[in-house]
Amino acid sequence: MLNDRNIILTGPPRSGTTLACFLLNKVRQTYALHEPMNLKLFPDPDTGMQSIRDFFGDMRTSLWTEGKALSKASGSAIPDNPFRQEKGQLRQSIVRKEWVSFPRPEDRSFFLVIKQNAHFTFLLDRLIHEFPCAAILRNPISVIASWNTINAPVARGTLTVLETLDPAFHARLDQIPDLLDRQIVLLDAMFQRYRETPGLTIVRYEDMIASSGQALSAIVPDAMELHESLESRNRSSIYDPDVMERIKASVLAYRGAWLDYYPEQVLQKT
């Protein structure tokens, strides 16, 4: 039976999913956890699914009884960006997993949103039958540009959890020698998963920013009350302009699944 108060949130890394968690935590009776689950909980797809079911139950109980939940956090709070804003070097993560204190729920009908990027993306075909599922999508040129500024597996054109959830695809990525080619194939595969998941709620990063967060009401209705001052980082000064141009040329030439959400004329203006 679908539990419409336990919500799966995913999207490509660096698409604004952490910002979405930050904003959703401002919404009444809503708790959004940033990447709280360990890789060891996903040794295979079946075990991964059971881990997700159990984790939702455990976190709901903990929030209701103790007002706390596991999440990656910085300074005991979930930030709007999990990486330092630095230029000229690979940005380091500023978060670590910890028990985060929240205001106690008013009643048991609270929304619990759990965000995992790669883990949930590559289980979407199963998750969509048990949970409401949403994905935050962002201009693919900006996504890959951001990948190239951080110290994370996507900066190397891979995702660690693929070793257990899709080992064939993980091996395929390993056989692609060029880093940018590998990143494009990886991002296209993720967009294909979103495109091929009927019933998936899609929120574009750009709409989330332009609406002051209200676009997240597609996930939790009361997010319509948000009025946050937000600024797009699609053309961040952190991104090397020459690298951006190479990424743009490759993204346009590849014609990936992102074209369903970001038409060529939009990408040309990036």
pLDDT in tens, 106-116: 999 999 999 99
Output the pLDDT for position 3.
72
Output the pLDDT for position 2.
53
**What region, left, alpha or beta, does residue 16 occupy, with left being phi > 0 and alpha being psi -120 to 50 degrees?**
left
Q: How far apart are CA 256 and CA 219, in angstroms?
A: 26
Strands 201-204, 6-10: pairing is unpaired
33 bridge partner residues:
114
Task: Answer whether residue 62 is part of any domain.
Answer: yes
- Alpha-carbon torsion, ordered 71, 8, 263, 147, to 10 deg: 30
Instruction: Find the angle CA(147)-CA(149)-CA(20) to the nearest 5 degrees.
Output: 60
Give the residue from 39, 10, 17 showing the smallest Cα distance to 161: 39
- Whether residue 205 contacts residue 134, with contact meaning beta carbons closer than 8 Å, is answered with no
pTM above 0.85, yes or no: yes
87 vs 85, which has greater pLDDT?
A: 85
pLDDT classification of 89: cutoffs 50, 70, 90:
confident
CB-based burial label for 97 (10 Å; 0-12, 13-18, 19+): middle
Q: What type of residue sits at position 27?
A: V
pLDDT in tens, 116-167: 999 999 999 999 999 999 999 999 999 999 999 999 999 999 999 999 999 9
The whole domain housing 90 covers: 6-268
pLDDT in tens, 11-57: 999 999 999 999 999 999 999 999 999 999 999 999 999 999 999 99
10 Å Cβ neighbour count for 104? 12
Q: What are the DSSP E strand ranges found in 41-85?
A: 68-73
Task: Answer whether residue 196 is part of any domain.
Answer: yes
Give 231's Cβ-side CA count (13 Å radius): 4
- Whether residue 32 contacts residue 21, with contact meaning beta carbons closer than 8 Å, is answered with yes
Output the pLDDT for position 90.
81
Task: Answer whether residue 90 is part of any domain.
Answer: yes
Q: Is a pLDDT exceeding 50 seen at residue 1?
A: no
Output the pLDDT for position 52.
97
Task: Answer whether residue 37 is part of any domain.
Answer: yes
Query: Whole-angstrom distance between the N-terminal and C-terminal Cα of the chain?
Result: 42
Q: Is a pLDDT exceeding 50 seen at residue 174?
A: yes
Task: Answer whether residue 1 is part of any domain.
Answer: no
- Whether residue 40 contacts residue 47, with contact meaning beta carbons closer than 8 Å, is answered with no
What percentage of the chain's residues is helix, strand, coil (to nearest 5)? Answer: 45, 15, 40
- Whether residue 18 contacts residue 137, with contact meaning beta carbons closer than 8 Å, is answered with no
Number of domains in the chain: 1
Output the pLDDT for position 4.
85
Helix (H, G, I), strand (E, B) or coil at 59: helix
Give the residue from 13, 15, 37 showing the smallest Cα distance to 127: 37
Task: Answer whether residue 243 is part of any domain.
Answer: yes
Task: Answer whether residue 30 is part of any domain.
Answer: yes
Output the pLDDT for position 87.
67
Identify the CATH number of the domain in which residue 114 sits.
3.40.50
Task: Answer whether residue 218 is part of any domain.
Answer: yes
pLDDT in tens, 200-240: 999 999 999 999 999 999 999 999 999 999 999 999 889 98
Return the structure tokens found at 237: 């000064």
